[in-house]
Amino acid sequence: MADKIKRIAVLCSGGDAPGMNAAIRAVVRTGNFHDLHVYGIYNGYQGMINGEIIRLEKGDVANIIHKGGTTLKTARSKEFMNKAGRKQAHQTLIANDIDAVVAIGGNGTFTGAQIFQSEFDFPMMGVPGTIDNDIFGTDYTIGFDTAVNTAIDAVDKIRDTADSHNRLFFVEVMGRHSGYIAMYTGLGSGASGILIPESETDVDELLGQLEKMALKKKLFGLIIVAEGNENGNAHRIAKIVEKKFTQYETKVAVIGHLQRGGSPTAQDRVLATRMGHGAVEGLLNGHHNVMCGIQNNEVVYVPLKDAIKKLKPIDSNILSLPSILS
């Protein structure tokens, strides 16, 4: 297989995540180490269709390991969702003599990669880059650690105001289908409550907890809410509490896309570097239609179909911590 792969391309698709540039750098430099020609595809799968492909050398990825976002840009391509668009993308790769593609992204990116592989028998390698940390088969995804640290930094600042004014803040973080950011942010900031999609937290349970706090004259606190929480977003939960407790002055803070940006943490840089390197090594060793992940600090290769379809639940031991520690 290694003899067949001489020219590889790398792209980013879907939402950006801090550390993507570190992964791109690792792909390019590992490819160069093995005397491969490495190409960058701009604007994700749409760029693959449009032929936005450029040769990348070692110097082209210098001084990017510390930068957030992605130098290759990223996009969601509706055209790639159609077979005609994928056929055009395949023709573009063939015209550029590309032998394999490393796709950095999340669930949607991997879904596109798997379909493309099945239709054209074209070697695809996934690298999990998403702040949500919701990809099965890897302990952590690129960008998650940075997003949590960004959220905790914001919550720490909000805590000062909450304490000074005896206010109850509901802080909404990203996570439409995954509560990893909310859970880790809540645990790391000592929040009074954490509401996530994976846990059937009853609003009445939260109200009971707040009632106990009020009896103890503790009128300030922090409740972390994942945007996909089944009971509603932070604004809705805050209104429910306002009606129940007049003694609480409630405020809402939505951190939003701040969590996507910023310089990646050391952990995300190292994680992305190992995954980018592992992706190229995997292709050269005959792995394709898989994702390169990290489990128990070891590089692993997980079928894309598993990474896409299998759920990655939050450990039950972690789920029990908020009620114990609040």
Query: Annotated catalytic sites, by residue?
Result: 132
Helix (H) or strand (E) holding 316: helix 316-319
What is the token pair recorded at 326?
A: 């609040």
Strands 290-295 and 124-128: parallel
What is the token pair recorded at 92?
A: 């573009």
Neighbour-count burial of 39, counting CB atoms closer than 10 A to its CB (0-12 exposed, 13-18 middle, 19+ buried)? buried
Beta strands (DSSP E) in 174-317 are 193-195, 221-226, 249-254, 290-295, 298-303
User: What gap in Å lies between CA 11 and CA 4, rounded to an integer?
Assistant: 20
**Measured between alpha carbons, how far is residue 163 from residues 244, 268, 287, 310 in Å?**
21, 32, 53, 42
What is the DSSP annotation of 28-92?
HHHHHHTT-EEEEETTHHHHHHHT-EEEE-GGGGTT-TT-SS-TT-----SGGGSHHHHHHHHHH
Helices (H), 96-233: 107-120, 144-165, 180-189, 203-215
Cβ 165 vs Cβ 178: under 8 Å: no
What is the token pair recorded at 110?
A: 């991997």
Give the phi and the psi of residue 171 in degrees, each rounded to 5: -105, 120
CB atoms within 10 A of CB 156: 13
83-95 and 107-120 helices cross at what angle (nearest 10)? 70
